[in-house]
Amino acid sequence: MDPEAIGRSYDQVARKWQELPNKSYGIAAYERAIKFVTNRGSALDIGCGSEGRMMDLLLKHGFQPEGLDVSTEMIALARVRHPEVPFHHADISKWDFPKKYDFIAAWDSTWHLPLELQEPVLEKIFAGLTPGGVHLFTTGGLDGPGEKEDPGLLQVPLAYSVLGIPRLLELLPKFGCICRHFEFDQHPEKHLVVIAQKI
C-alpha cells in the first residue's frame, strides 16, 4: 500500500482517533527521548495525527513543534486544536525538510511506508537532525525484514513494513547516530521503541 492510500485510510478514522481511550500511550517514550535532547528548539512530529497530545507535550518542554501527516483529515483537525503550530500535509518520503530539527518523533507512523522506502526515509530523518538531535521512532521488532497488511485499530486497511533489528542496528552508525534506548515496550507484542541521537 502506498503512502497516499494510508492517508486515505487515516482520513476515515481521524475523528474517531481523537476519542481513543489510552491518552497515555507513547507519552513515557517521548518523555524518555526528550531527556536526551540538549537544545529544546525545533521539533517535528511525523504522523502527528489529530488529537494533539504530543504537541501539548512538546510545547510543555519548550520546543517549537511542527507536525506532519499524510492524512488530510488528521491535519485539518490538528490545526483546529493547535492553530499556533505549523502543520504540513505531506508524505514524508517525498517531503523536503525545510530546516534541521533538534527532536524528531515518528511514533507508529513511518512503519506504514513500503519496505523499499524504509532505509531512504530513515536516512532522510537522521540527515534532518541537528548535531546532538534525537530521533524517537517505533518499528516492528522482527529479526528480519517483513511486510504485512491488516485492518488496524479502527478496522481500516493499513500496511506495515520493517527492516528487522539487525539491519536497523547496522544503519544507525552508518547514518551518524548512536542508539540511546531500545525497548520492546509491549512484550510479547513485537512493538519496538528506538531512541537514537545524532553524533
Mean pLDDT across the chain: 93
**Number of domains forming the structure of the chain:** 1
Percent of the chain with pLDDT over 90: 81
151 pLDDT exceeds 90? Answer: no
For residues 143 and 141, give the distance between their C-alpha atoms in angstroms, rounded to a whole number.
Answer: 7
Q: What is the CA radius of gyration of the chain?
A: 15
194 φ, ψ to 5°? -125, 135
Would you place residue 15 in the very low, low, confident or very high pLDDT band (cuts 50, 70, 90)? confident
* pLDDT score recorded for residue 90: 96
Half-sphere exposure of 16 (CA within 13 A, CB side): 9
* pLDDT score recorded for residue 152: 66
Mean pLDDT for 4-19 is 81
pLDDT in tens, 164-196: 999 999 999 999 999 999 999 999 999 999 999
* pLDDT score recorded for residue 178: 98
Half-sphere exposure of 13 (CA within 13 A, CB side): 16
Q: Quick one: cell of 103? A: 527532536
Q: Tell me which residue of 144, 142, 104, 145 sits closest to 124, measured CA to CA.
A: 104
pTM: 0.95
CATH of the domain at 94: 3.40.50.150
* pLDDT score recorded for residue 153: 64
Q: Is 179 helix (H, G, I), strand (E, B) or coil?
A: strand
Which domain range does residue 15 map to?
3-198
